[in-house]
Amino acid sequence: MLHFATLPLPLLLLCLNFASVVYTHGYVAQVTIDGKTYQGNEPQGTSNPSIIRQISTIDPVMSVNDSNLNCGWNAPKATLVADANPGSKLTFTWSGGPGGYPWPHNVGPFFFYMAPCVNTTCDQYNSINAEWFKIAEVGAKPGGAEWYQQNIMDGYPANVTLPADLAPGQYLVRHEIIALHEATTIDEAQYYPSCTQINVKGNETGYPTSNETCPFPGCYKDTDPGLYDPTVYNTPIQYTFPGPPLATFVLASANSSDPGTNPTGSGNGSSSGGSSGADPGADGNSGNGSSTSAASSGKGTCKVVRPDGEYFVVQRTRHRRSVNQVLRRWLSDTKRVVMRY
């Protein structure tokens, strides 16, 4: 039996911290395509038919060289493939863990990549062979006071619009949040990838060039400025997106179809921290008519306004190293001590 009175102080603090913080990470719980919702499966839960590849844990991938960076931890092929069209709107709803916990992070960008399922259907395709092209990258809100990821923490989904001239075929959509709250140290960025299987109809011809694609792992280096950022907590946010540039046909599609949906961002991987692509994503539009308006104060709060005029104030916590984060390294060196207790 574990007796807290006999524990060393660092181990006691660790136990108390884990008791109060059950879930600290997350997964994509559902995807909506043009109003039709598809449920995902909880990590380690029952595997029901889905278009979302099920991951085995809510923990982040911690290395740019890990094969799990591809579609998430131990993610097998999903059984379903959902129909979509060029210009379809996709919304991704995140959960902080089984039981409906909210997404816990608000520092860092998120991305949308696509890859064709070559010579087969996506429910049979091995994603390790995928060559990914980027269709959207989402960083800081206008003014650079906070990240769009804050909206996901507030319970809103991340949104993306498929390129208007996307060629038909079956694709994996790789949606990824990168949490940077510990990225002031090299190799401490946290990666949360998720893959969804879709079948794009139509007769368009938009497709990336070979120099606009890359594999996962392979698209990132752990020293990329957007993954190692000693100034990540400085405001206004100045941020360089990692990975390949947005595919040229994606930028052309966004500019010709809806010039109002491409906010601040250069589309070449570098910007002041804004967003580039077909849709800013997580902009408060949850797909059901809800919207947010966020304004930062000197006290670090965020006012979220509902359509009915009511609002609540969210405390904006900069996720500097918590007791859990500081002791994680200590615990990795003292596993034998922990086992004795």
190, 321 Cβ separation under 8 angstroms: no
66, 222 Cβ separation under 8 angstroms: no
Report how far residue 102's alpha carbon sits from residue 26's, in angstroms, rounded to the nearest whole number.
8
Concatenate the DSSP letters of all residues of 132-146 into one string. Answer: BEEEEEE-BPTTSSS
At 237 the pLDDT is: 96
Report how far residue 138's alpha carbon sits from residue 156's, in angstroms, rounded to the nearest whole number.
14
The two counts, helices (H) then strands (E), for the chain are 5, 14
Report how far residue 169's alpha carbon sits from residue 208's, in angstroms, rounded to the nearest whole number.
14
Q: What is the pLDDT of residues 183-206, one digit of tens each?
A: 999 999 999 999 999 999 999 999
Determine the length of the chain. 341
Close Cβ partners of 117 (under 8 Å, ≥ 6 residues apart): 124, 125, 130, 169, 170, 171, 172, 197
Query: pLDDT (tens digit, 0 to 9) for every residue of the chain, 341 residues total?
Result: 445 455 565 554 544 444 344 446 999 999 999 999 999 999 999 999 999 999 999 999 999 999 999 999 999 999 999 999 999 999 999 999 888 899 999 999 999 999 999 999 999 999 999 999 999 999 999 999 999 999 999 999 999 999 999 999 999 999 999 999 999 999 999 999 999 999 999 999 999 999 999 999 999 999 999 999 999 999 999 999 999 999 999 998 876 543 333 333 333 333 446 666 545 555 544 333 223 223 333 333 333 333 333 333 333 333 344 444 444 444 433 333 333 33
139, 111 Cβ separation under 8 angstroms: no
Concatenate the DSSP letters of all residues of 230-298 into one string. Answer: TTTT-SS--EE--SSPBPHHHHHHHHHH-GGG--S--SSSEEBS-EEES---SSS--SSS------B-T
Close Cβ partners of 56 (under 8 Å, ≥ 6 residues apart): 43, 44, 73, 74, 75
Report how far residue 43's alpha carbon sits from residue 123's, in angstroms, rounded to the nearest whole number.
19
- State how far the alpha carbon of 121 is from the alpha carbons of 72, 79, 81, 147, 213, in Å: 20, 10, 8, 36, 20
What structural domains does the chain harbor?
25-290 (2.70.50.70)
At 11 the pLDDT is: 53
The two three-digit tokens of residue 173, written as one number? 């959509």
Q: Which of 254, 306, 298 is nearest to 275 (CA)?
A: 254
pTM: 0.76
Report how far residue 60's alpha carbon sits from residue 27's, in angstroms, rounded to the nearest whole number.
9
